[in-house]
Chain A
Amino acid sequence: MTAVAPARRQAVRLLVLLVIVAVVLYPLVWMVGTSVKSQAEIVNNVGLLPERFTPGNYTDGWTNFDVGFGRFFLNSAMVSLLTVLGNALSCLLAAYALGRLRFRLRKVWFTVMIGTLLLPGHVLIVPQYILFRSLGLVGGDWPYLPLLIPHFLATEAFFVFLMVQFMRGIPRELDEAAKIDGASPYGVFRHVILPLSRPALVTTAIFSFIWTWNDFFRQLVFLSNLDDYTVPVALTLFIDSTSQSAVGPMFAMSVLSLLPVFLFFLAFQRMLVEGINTSGLKG
């Protein structure tokens, strides 16, 4: 706005915003506070902070089940990082084809890709489970393949779309110049598109990591042995054990499970916020 609003109005606005911040942050602070409360305090003191700092919940939670949480964290990290790799690689290839190259039926495929954007994953879970199971990939020696394979085949249309949008911003003159120098479409990809797409790749990597780290539905369906569990699936074990004594450890592990996402948020805050802007609006 051009006109400078009166100072008092700004102050009221700031006050309202601070109240909203308090409401938004309360559950998070409360979660951290509860994770260091003793069992007695969890029942009697529902305030933000513990009267006595009890870090024991963290060690108790870490070893609460037959398999330690270290294992679950490793499993989650492996699934998330491989998903990042798969998405970045396969979506970039698809985006280069759809956004940059000219070939038969390109428009048709592009429309199909946009169509799959809105396709709910829950619709496909039953037949995918049956197919992967018939291939012997469910509950096998390495049960993560059903989780990973789709990501190496560019099925996350959101990222393909994001990268196509990004590539539209790369000047075509660069492609043409490379072609005059004798570069093939592969050469253009390797020497022009790949290096210039780094921002889009980073955005894709960050979102892939966070979404996979938090994902629950697919991991719940495809992982059945305790040893193979990822963090979100392992956390639900706490709900099954109805005993009150597990609440502190459950909170402690919940806090730990959100920590990587939180660190990503701190490190890439600006990029995350701008990432969702570039994804859909510039049509």
Chain B
Amino acid sequence: MALTTAPGRTARTGPAGPRRTRRGAGRARLGEGLAGYVFLSPWLIGLMGVTAIPMLLSLWLSFTDYDILTPLTEVRWVGLANYERMFTADPSYWHAVRVTLTFALVAVPLKLAAALGVALLLNRTWRGVGLFRGLFYLPSLLGGSVALAIVWVNMFNRDGAFNSFLAVFGVEGLPWVSDPDWALETLMVLAVWQFGAPMVIFLAGLKQIPTELYEAAAVDGAGTWRRFRAVTLPMLSPVIFFNLVLETIHGFQGFTAAFVLSNGTGGPVDSTLMYTLKLYISGFTDLEMGYASAMAWVFLVAIAVITAVFFSTGRFWVHYSDGEEDR
């Protein structure tokens, strides 16, 4: 708009006009460039002070034996000792890796399956969708809290509500949360219980699928299952991908429930020693902050690698209709 009006005005103001407007436009662009950095400055300071510098600090610390008690200037450089210890001399580290992978590999697919299943049910329901959607979403808001972890632990106690439910069917339950074989499973159930957030995203994705596709498939004689396989799944694959990446990364970081269940120890017998809990114990209970920093960096690299793997395999199964629409 500014461009279309400018020539008219310059024509009237004579030869000095164009130069002035060009210089004015240049100044405006300069002003906007400056304004950009003014508005960006809090974020930039945060990026440096809260993210980048701490990351570099932690990289350096991971090669030292820093504990919070000695001053930073007297820290001893230990080379790769922390990493060596982690990979070769600390069985509980590998245990934490195993616990975290197990948790993510089981809980995330189950959670997404529940989310997709309920979304499909809701998508076809004609009334009360909003109410159901809200009710199913509620656990996602509450489930990460300490309070709910407390409830969960008590529900899966020897004399908790879950066992009294089993007793109805004549099954005698276990003290699930204090049994090393089952404690992690109760945390998985807690994660699956929070299927509401990915469900809402699935629902939005389902709404985007054009009904003509289903009609065309029905005309071709496709049954319910075939329509799901040939229309719903491919059309929904970008949303499935989005949820999968998000929930996996989220799953790796589970902390609160494991902390509450084990009172911060990762027990019983390290069965709920999630990676972040191991990191917390090393850094803030044992005060081995160099060691904890090494752990944090391995965690970061692992998450980056897993995300990269997701994105590179995504090409083969994520289907974007009519090409990329990115920006």
Q: Name A's B-contacting residues (CB within 8 A).
A: 1-3, 5, 10, 13-14, 16-17, 20-21, 24-28, 30-31, 34, 43, 46-47, 90, 93-94, 96-98, 101-104, 106, 109, 112-113, 116, 118-131, 133-134, 149-150, 152-155, 160, 173, 176-177, 179-180, 184-186, 189, 210, 214, 216-217, 220-221, 232-233, 235-236, 238-240, 247, 250-251, 253-255, 257-258, 261-262, 264-265, 269-270, 272-273, 276-277, 280-281, 283
Please, how many angstroms separate the alpha-carbon atoms of A265 and B29 in the complex? 44
Q: Which of A1, A5, A126 contacts B289 (CB 8 A)?
A: A126
Please, how many angstroms separate the alpha-carbon atoms of A189 and B1 in the complex? 19
| Closest CB in chain B relative to A16 CB, distance in Å | 6
Max chain A Cβ within 10 angstroms of own Cβ: one of B32, B136, B325: B32
Chain B 200-229 against A: per-residue CB contact (8 Å), 1 yes, 0 no? 110011000001001100100000000000
Q: Is B161 an interface residue (CB 8 A)?
A: yes
With contact pairs A2-B215, A124-B58, A216-B145 given, residues A17 and B122 touching in the complex (Cβ less than 8 Å): yes
Please, how many angstroms separate the alpha-carbon atoms of A127 and B289 in the complex? 9
- The residues of A that contact B197 with a CB separation of less than 8 Å are 276
Q: Which of A103, A131, A185, A251 contacts B57 (CB 8 A)?
A: A131
| Closest CB in chain A relative to B61 CB, distance in Å | 7
Given contacts A124-B55, A179-B2, A281-B242, 8 further A-B contacts (CB under 8 A): A10-B125, A31-B147, A103-B36, A121-B253, A124-B54, A179-B28, A180-B5, A214-B145
With contact pairs A17-B132, A116-B47 given, residues A127 and B256 touching in the complex (Cβ less than 8 Å): no
Chain B 110-140 against A: per-residue CB contact (8 Å), 1 yes, 0 no? 0000000010011011100010111111110
Please, how many angstroms separate the alpha-carbon atoms of A124 and B118 in the complex? 36
Is A130 a contact of B68 with CB atoms below 8 Å? yes
Is B255 a contact of A217 with CB atoms below 8 Å? yes
Is B50 a contact of A155 with CB atoms below 8 Å? yes
Is B201 a contact of A276 with CB atoms below 8 Å? yes
Max chain A Cβ within 10 angstroms of own Cβ: one of B40, B146, B205, B242: B146
Is A112 a contact of B142 with CB atoms below 8 Å? no
Q: Of all chain B residues, which has the CB nearest A235?
A: B146
Q: Of all chain A residues, which has the CB nearest B303?
A: A120
Closest 8 CB pairs of A and B: A153-B46, A103-B36, A185-B35, A254-B147, A127-B54, A94-B43, A97-B39, A154-B43
Is A262 a contact of B142 with CB atoms below 8 Å? yes
- The residues of A that contact B47 with a CB separation of less than 8 Å are 112, 116, 155
Q: Is B233 an interface residue (CB 8 A)?
A: no
Q: Is B326 an interface residue (CB 8 A)?
A: yes
Q: Is B160 an interface residue (CB 8 A)?
A: yes
Interface size class of B (residues with CB under 8 A): 35 or more
| Closest CB in chain B relative to A236 CB, distance in Å | 6
| Closest CB in chain A relative to B157 CB, distance in Å | 9
- The residues of B that contact A189 with a CB separation of less than 8 Å are 39
- The residues of B that contact A96 with a CB separation of less than 8 Å are 39
- 10 A-B pairs in the complex with CB atoms less than 8 angstroms apart: A1-B211, A13-B124, A17-B122, A25-B138, A97-B35, A118-B303, A154-B43, A160-B43, A235-B146, A281-B242
Q: Is B150 an interface residue (CB 8 A)?
A: yes
With contact pairs A118-B249, A120-B303 given, residues A276 and B200 touching in the complex (Cβ less than 8 Å): yes
With contact pairs A104-B33, A126-B293, A128-B50 given, residues A255 and B147 touching in the complex (Cβ less than 8 Å): yes
Please, how many angstroms separate the alpha-carbon atoms of A121 and B66 in the complex? 21
With contact pairs A46-B159, A154-B43, A177-B1 given, residues A235 and B147 touching in the complex (Cβ less than 8 Å): yes
Please, how many angstroms separate the alpha-carbon atoms of A16 and B215 in the complex? 26
Q: Which of B196, B215, B246, B299 contacts A120 (CB 8 A)?
A: B299
Is A173 a contact of B152 with CB atoms below 8 Å? no
Q: Is B87 an interface residue (CB 8 A)?
A: no
Q: Is B193 an interface residue (CB 8 A)?
A: yes
With contact pairs A118-B303, A131-B54, A154-B43 given, residues A277 and B201 touching in the complex (Cβ less than 8 Å): yes
